[in-house]
């Protein structure tokens, strides 16, 4: 741990000496941060029309979740969104084991449905590159007459609002660059003063499904002239599926030399 603290101290001392860097360091959360929370439990029979959307250019987030049908449903759902990730802490096994992680968006859903009319819906979780995200998105689509689902969606793109070592959030991207390849130092910098780890940039979906109908996912990660990742799955029939999709980019910005480096330009 002493070595990590030493590297962090050196990185702080060197701040301001950074050169040209690639975009997508973690986004600094606004001082006047905003939050949204919704939780409900529903059990009954009849017409179903449920939708939630969150678009936030400040943290490069686009989120849409919708479903409609006519049948018997039990739904236990929580949606929470915070520009200040320090205020939204959850345990997700694929993110930080049994420890809490800081998030900008979290949704958990437990649902059962049965009906002659299909339940039609989907979900889109997008880290918008144009606003400083990593350009990754996850989409879920379904049309089912029967479904049991246990699902968690999560997203984080911002730095800790109160980093350790008395660092200002505005200074953290530059300090992360100096930490470079030292994974322990980067993790220490992305842990807030209360010991909660922030895994930015991260976008993911965990789901367990049992269904009769059609269900599938599309996941893409695109950077122009640099990266193109695509994963597609679609199933029609009677299936059980357990799936994890997760995109993560190390929050350390990388130096990109300009073509005319070393000369007056």
> In the block, which residue shows the tokens 């040209």?
20
Average pLDDT, the chain: 89
Helix or strand holding residue 46 (H, E): strand 35-56
What pLDDT is stored for residue 17 in this prediction? 37
Instruction: List CB contacts of 41: < 8 A, sequence separation 6 or more.
Output: 75, 76, 77
pLDDT band at 138 (very low <50, low <70, confident <90, very high): very high
Secondary structure class of 69 (helix, strand, coil): strand
Q: Is 49's pLDDT higher than 80?
A: yes
> How far apart, in Å, are the Cα atoms of 56 and each of 4, 82, 94, 192?
34, 10, 25, 23
Q: Is 35's pLDDT higher than 50?
A: yes
Instruction: List CB contacts of 32: < 8 A, sequence separation 6 or more.
Output: none
Q: Is 173's pLDDT higher than 70?
A: yes
What pLDDT is stored for residue 13 in this prediction? 43
What pLDDT is stored for residue 213 in this prediction? 98
Assigned token pair, 148:
């049991």
What pLDDT is stored for residue 258 in this prediction? 67
Report which of residues 9 and 107 the model is more confident about.
107
Q: Is 170's pLDDT higher than 80?
A: yes
- Segment 192-214, tens digit of pLDDT: 988 999 999 999 999 999 999 99
Answer whether 48's CB lies under 8 Å from 71's CB: yes
Q: Is 74's pLDDT higher than 90?
A: yes
Residue 219 CB coordination number (10 Å): 21
Q: Is 59's pLDDT higher than 90?
A: yes
What pLDDT is stored for residue 15 in this prediction? 42
Q: Any idea where the domains of the chain sit in the sequence?
A: 36-164+194-248
Q: Is 255's pLDDT higher than 90?
A: no
Global confidence as pTM: 0.87
> In the block, which residue shows the tokens 């999709």?
245
What pLDDT is stored for residue 225 in this prediction? 82
Average pLDDT over residues 224-229: 88
What pLDDT is stored for residue 262 in this prediction? 67
């Amino acid at each position: 741990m002493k070595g990590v603290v030493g590297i962090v101290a050196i990185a702080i001392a060197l701040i301001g000496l950074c050169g040209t860097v690639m975009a997508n360091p973690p986004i600094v959360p606004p001082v006047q941060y905003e939050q949204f929370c919704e939780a409900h439990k529903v059990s009954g029979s009849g017409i179903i029309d449920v939708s939630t959307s969150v678009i936030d250019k400040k943290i490069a987030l686009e989120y849409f979740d919708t479903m409609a049908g006519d049948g018997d449903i039990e739904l236990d759902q929580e949606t929470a969104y915070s520009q200040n990730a320090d205020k939204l802490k959850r345990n997700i096994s694929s993110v930080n084991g049994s420890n809490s992680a800081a998030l900008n968006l979290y949704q958990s859903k437990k649902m059962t449905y049965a009906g002659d009319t299909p339940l039609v819906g989907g979900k889109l979780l997008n880290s918008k590159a144009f606003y400083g995200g990593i350009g990754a998105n996850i989409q879920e689509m379904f049309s089912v007459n029967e479904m049991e689902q246990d699902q968690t969606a999560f997203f984080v793109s911002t730095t800790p609002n109160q980093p350790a070592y008395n660092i200002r959030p505005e200074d953290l991207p530059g300090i992360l660059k100096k930490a470079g390849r030292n994974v322990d130092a980067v993790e220490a910098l992305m842990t807030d003063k209360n010991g909660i780890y922030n895994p930015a940039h991260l976008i993911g979906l965990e789901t367990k499904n049992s269904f009769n109908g059609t269900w599938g996912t599309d996941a893409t990660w695109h950077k122009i002239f640099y990266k193109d990742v695509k994963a597609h799955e679609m199933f029609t029939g009677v299936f059980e599926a357990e799936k994890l999709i997760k995109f993560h980019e190390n929050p350390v910005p990388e130096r990109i030399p300009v073509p005319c480096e070393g000369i007056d330009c």
